[in-house]
Every structure is written in structure tokens, then in C-alpha cells.
Amino acid sequence: MADPPHKGRFDGTWWIWAMAGALFVMYAAVSLRLHQRMLTSSYDLGIFEQVVRSYAEGHLPVSEVKGQGFPILGDHFSPILALAAPFYRVWRGAETLLVVQAALLAVSVVPLALWARRTLGGPAGAVIGACYGLSWGIASGVGYDFHEVAFAVPLLAFSLAALGNDRLTAAACWALPLLFVKEDLGLTVLVIGLVIARRGDRGLGLFTATAGLCGTVLALFVVLPAFNPSGSFAYWSLVGDGSGAPGVDGGSAGSLLDLLHRGTIGLVTPQTKVSTLLLMLAPTVFLAMRSPLLWVALPTLVWRFTSSNDLHWGTNYHYSLVLMPIVFAAFIDALVRRGTRERSLRRYLVGSAAITLVILPNFALFQLVQPDTWRTDPRVAVAHRLMDKIPDGARVQVSNELVPQLTNRTSVGLYGSPGSRPNPQWIMVDTWVPANARLWPGAPLSAQAEQSQLEENRRAGYDLVAAQDGFVLLHRREVMQHRQS
């Protein structure tokens, strides 16, 4: 297809980079404000900062939040996080991870907008780039901490843009690093390989598909069990019966029927799953369904919808980050394949923009225009004054939202978690955390249990250093510290 004409402000590509820059500022602003307001958490920002800090300090990644010296390569296979370590050495803090994530997501706009501009025209590139950058899946990831799958987003965008333009070697080269982002993404690489084979390069496609499958198998059955203290992949229980890998002492009729149900009717029930699927396709006016590139989303959708964890089914958190570049790449591909006329193209673009704008207020990017985002609770200053009393290098246990505030300079665990290192030197707890905020997955203590444990800590030799605005700071007595050492 010949390059379409470009006029006026859509001449060149400078505006695509400007769009990516503006989105970077938006993503970073949302994430950093959430962190400044102490609305980030141990799961997952605290964990990932401990991982990146480990790499920056030159050793294999561990996370005290997950447990005493827990080797994180036994939890998820994400060695690509080491790429964030040089930036962390420049600025030690959770803010570094949030800015890196914002940059990765913003860069992913570029290949999709360039592809749309070249094949559909400048206005189409602008609309599709903006709709992608403001999409709910990206916003959900931005609004909830940092995650390793942020690295997958630009890799997928570049790979699928190359694939859509029949640059098959480039598509494979961009896809293969996904093996180092997370163990399940090898299956995504497998599907990309199959699409490459279908597009004409059978040898390259089968090589890519084989590499993807082998990468996932090695990660699940060799690497992760080798590092995990339990000797197996930690998340088989999400698809099995909770006793181990599927089919290993879990092959009872009940277990097999459960797996059969999850793999069939369970993929579309309960309704939350259908709602997520519809919302995923809606910004493309459902035209993405006409592109074979949409098959690349299948592995992610299958593991999410067969999971027993209902948080995986919906539209919150970071779980839809990797779906957005796939869906919008399929949208562009479908528009190009249709040979859409100008009037029809305009209708699709208007529909996509309208749906994106209707959805936008329900997700995190809309916080930028809400006054509360720019107000800081006075308790935040109180918390920082108390945390300043904790010396660098100390062993501490703190409440969930305090963990990422201390990860850069202490050895911090989650207060009340059974796996936390015992007898920390310092304890700091936010006793005013509302009941509904204690319902997050892995929250170790109810308010009553927390109060009981604080009283037990006092009896066991911890002195009250400060108690202000609901924050309680305890320090272990020196006599006890010498006895323990």
C-alpha cells in the first residue's frame, strides 16, 4: 500500500514522540502522586523494589516481603528486571521503578502510532495512538504500583507492528525477549511464532514458537522449582487443586472435572470475565476481532480466566497491560486489511475515541483532573517524621503502605506476615487502616489481631517510641538486641 498523504500538523513523526512524551508525564504523575500519598503497597511495589535493589547491589534477587531472604526467581521468572538496576543505582527509591514503568508504557505508543500513520494517515495515527495511550488497560497498570510486565508492553508493540508490516525477522527478535519478562509469556511467543509461520516464514515461525514453548516449560518445571523453597512452581494451585502441579496427585475425577469446567464454560463465567472481554475489544469498535493478531492475546486470557483467583478476571490492577498493545495492533491490522475508505475509517476512529473517552473516567488517569489527587493527607508528613527515626540498614516490620517508603534504605518485612523475619529492630504500624483496605490479597492481620500482636510485642521487650495520628512506632530494647545477636 502506498503511503497515504499527510498534511499540516501531521507532517513528519515529531508529534508521535511528543504524544509519547506527554503520556509519559501523565503516567509518571499518576504513579508518583499515589506513592507520595502513601497509596502504594508492599504487594507489589515493595517486592519489586527489593528485587531491583538486589540486582543493583550485585546479587540474585530476594524479597523480605515475600519471606526471609525469599529468592524471587522461585516466584516468577523475570530476570529482565535487572535492566532497571542501573537506574536504581542513580536514584535509590521506589520512584525510579515508577518512572521506568511510565517510560516503557509511553514508548509502546510509538510503533503503533507510526504504523497507523504510515498505512492509514496522520489523523488515524494520532487518534489510534491517543486511544491506546489512554486505554483502560494501560491506566489500570499505571494506577497500581510497578510490575515486571511493563517490560512486555513495548516488546509486544514493536513485535506486532513489525509482524503487521511483514517484517517477520524483526517481529521474532522483538518477541523472544518476552521469555525473560515472565514465565507465561513464552506461550505468547509461541502464538507469535505461529502467526509468523502463517505469514510466510515457516522456519522462523516454528523456531520462534518452539523457543516460546521451551522457555515456558523450562521456567515452570526447572528454574522456578529450583529456586522456590517448596521445590515447585508456587502458583499451580490457581489452576490445579492446590496440592501441586496439575495431574500430580491431583488427577481425581473432581479435579479433572474442575479443570474441564474452567477450560470450557468457566472461561465465560462468571459475568466478570465476559465484561472484561467486551471492555477489552470495545475501544477498537470490536474490529480487532477481524485480525489474526488478536490470537496473540489468547494465552493471557486463558490463564487469567482459568485462574481460581477472581482478581485475575476483572479490569483492575495490572493484568490487562499486555492485552492493550495486542488489541490495538489487531485494530490497525484489521483497518489496513479492509482497505477502509476515508468515510468508513473516520467512523471507526470516531467510535474508538468516543468509547475511550466514555471509559476514561473510571480508571486511574482520570485522577489527574481530580482535586484530591493533588492534596496530601497531613498524616503522610507524620508518617515520614516517625520513619525518619528508623536508621538506615535497620531490620524493620511495617504496615503494608509503609513498606515501599522504607525499602530503599532498610531491610523491611510486612508486619504480621508469618514469613517475616522475627525480632525486627523496629516496628511501625498504621492502626487507622480501614477494614476494607485490609482485604487485599495477603493482608496478614485484621485490626483486632494487629492490636493483640502490638500488645504482645510490648510484653516481649519493645518500647513505644511514638504514637501519633494512628501510627505506632516500637523499638526493641538494646538488652534484648544484644541477647539475640
Tell me the three cell numbers of residue 385: 517524621
Number of other CB atoms surrounding residue 240 within 10 Å: 20
Count of Cβ atoms closer than 10 Å to residue 169 Cβ: 12
441: which DSSP letter?
Answer: T
Predicted confidence at residue 1, as pLDDT, reads: 44
**Facing residues of 159 across strands?**
none
Note the pLDDT of residue 299.
97
Given a contact cutoff of 8 angstroms between Cβ atoms, the answer to whether 130 and 139 are in contact is no
Q: Which long-range contacts (CB under 8 A, 24 or more apart) does 345-349 make?
A: 345/120, 345/121, 345/124, 348/285, 348/287, 349/123, 349/124, 349/127, 349/128
Share of the chain above pLDDT 70, in %: 92
Tens-digit pLDDT string for the chain (485 aa): 444 544 456 667 899 999 999 999 999 999 999 999 999 999 899 999 999 999 999 999 999 999 999 999 999 999 999 999 999 999 999 999 999 999 999 999 999 999 999 999 999 999 999 999 999 999 999 999 999 999 999 999 999 999 999 999 999 999 999 999 999 999 999 999 999 999 999 999 999 999 999 999 999 999 999 999 999 999 988 875 544 444 444 444 557 777 777 778 888 889 999 999 999 999 999 999 999 999 999 999 999 999 999 999 999 999 999 999 999 999 999 999 887 678 899 999 999 999 999 999 999 999 999 999 999 999 999 999 999 999 999 999 999 999 999 999 999 999 999 889 999 999 999 999 887 676 665 578 888 999 999 999 999 999 999 999 999 999 998 754 444 44
Which regions of 345-443 does DSSP assign to beta strands (E)? 395-398, 411-414, 426-430
**How far is Cα 319 from Cα 98, in angstroms, rounded to an integer?**
17
Q: Which amino acid appears at position 118 of this protein?
A: R
- Distance in Å from the first CA to the final CA of the chain: 73
Question: What is the structure's pLDDT at 437?
Answer: 72
pTM: 0.92
For helices 122-133 and 342-359, give the axis angle rounded to 10 degrees.
20
What's the rounded Cα separation, in Å, for the pair 56 and 68? 19
Three-state DSSP class for residue 468? strand
pLDDT at 6: 45
Beta-carbon contacts of 239 under 8 Å, excluding residues fewer than 6 positions away, are 246, 259, 262, 303, 306, 307, 308
